[in-house]
Amino acid sequence: MTVHKYLKSRQITDHIGGELQKEEELSVICVGSVFKSWKLLEKAFLEKLGIISKRINIRYLTQSSAIGAAYFAAKSHGVKLPIDFSKNYHELCCYQNGKILQ
């Protein structure tokens, strides 16, 4: 494994720090049509994650990211938009301690 590939494979785990350490689980939002082939990517993707003690929810974004941007812009101005975020993604898998959770 080259140094570059090692650094890339550690990006997610290296950024789990500070406030995120307090969370019991984390969500990784996958964007791009390449994730439509998740079954072909899953094994290598999870191997690169390695063993992580936190539960990781790996999700594929099914709606425009502009929905989230509009939500946070409205929230910063005190306006609450009626958005059901659970309808904006598809659960690819849940992962913890080197295993896929059901």
Alpha helices in 1-102 (DSSP H): 3-9, 11-14, 38-49, 66-76
Query: Biggest alpha carbon distance in the chain?
Result: 49
Q: Is residue 16's pLDDT more than 80?
A: no
For residue 11, what pLDDT is reported?
59
Q: Hey, where are the domains in the chain?
A: 3-101
pLDDT score of 78 more than 90: yes
pLDDT tens per residue across span 25-70: 888 888 888 889 999 989 988 888 888 888 989 999 999 889 989 9
Provide the pLDDT for residue 8.
Answer: 47
